[in-house]
Structure 1
Amino acid sequence: MSKQRFASVWDAIEDTPEEAENMKLRSTLMMALKNHLTRTEMSQAQAAKLFGVTQPRISDLMRGKINLFSLDALVNMATAAGLHIEMRVLEDA
């Protein structure tokens, strides 16, 4: 058994570094949206109306169904929620 260490679970389970980075970003956005909806006590119906999606789509978000969401869709939802997104791009050391 390999004792290889990974910086992130996504690095371990995704096939390529590109896929792992995409999943890390999607995961971060999904957690931020879920936390925002929980903190504001917004109902799924209210969130759906605000984001321009269906209530079942919000249910998928709240249940962490990450494979159902593109990075673009999550950015759009975060912006509609009034969240500000910042991104840093770093070169490997």
Structure 2
Amino acid sequence: MQVQSFACVWDALTDTPDEAADLRLRSDLLAACLRQIDRWRIDRALAADRLKLSARRFADLRAGRIHRFTSAELAELADRALTASQEMHAASWADRH
């Protein structure tokens, strides 16, 4: 049995470089979403509402179920998370000044 090594786990799990690249992108976007959500320090229902997700979809996101989201969906969620964070920051700044 020959031992193979891969640069990335996604390379090992997929058949083509394009599939691996898509999974790397989705993984990065998912991680970015989760970092933003964690920074909010709010309950799940409010976080799901900010992202315009149902409770079930939010649970999938929090659980890291990458296979349930396309690259486009995760890019949209990352954009929503960043926008919500910027709005929260602006509101917080306005309250202090």
The CA deviation at 1:55 is: 1.5
**Root-mean-square deviation (CA), in Å?**
1.3
Residues 48, 55 of structure 2: 8 Å contact kept: yes
Scaled by the length of structure 2, the TM-score of the pair is: 0.78
Residues 36, 82 of structure 2: 8 Å contact kept: no
Correspondences of 1:50-69 after superposition (within 5 Å): 50-69=50-69
Match of 1:89 in 2: none
Match of 2:87 in 1: none
Match of 2:79 in 1: 79
Count of aligned positions = 83
Q: What is the identity percentage for the equivalent residue pairs of Structure 1 and Structure 2?
A: 37
Q: Which has the larger radius of gyration?
A: 2
**SS at the partner of 2:82?**
coil
Match of 2:36 in 1: 36
More RCO (CA 8 Å, sep 6+): 2
What amino acid is the match of 1:37?
I
Q: Choose between structure 1 and 2: higher helix proportion.
A: 2
Match of 1:46 in 2: 46
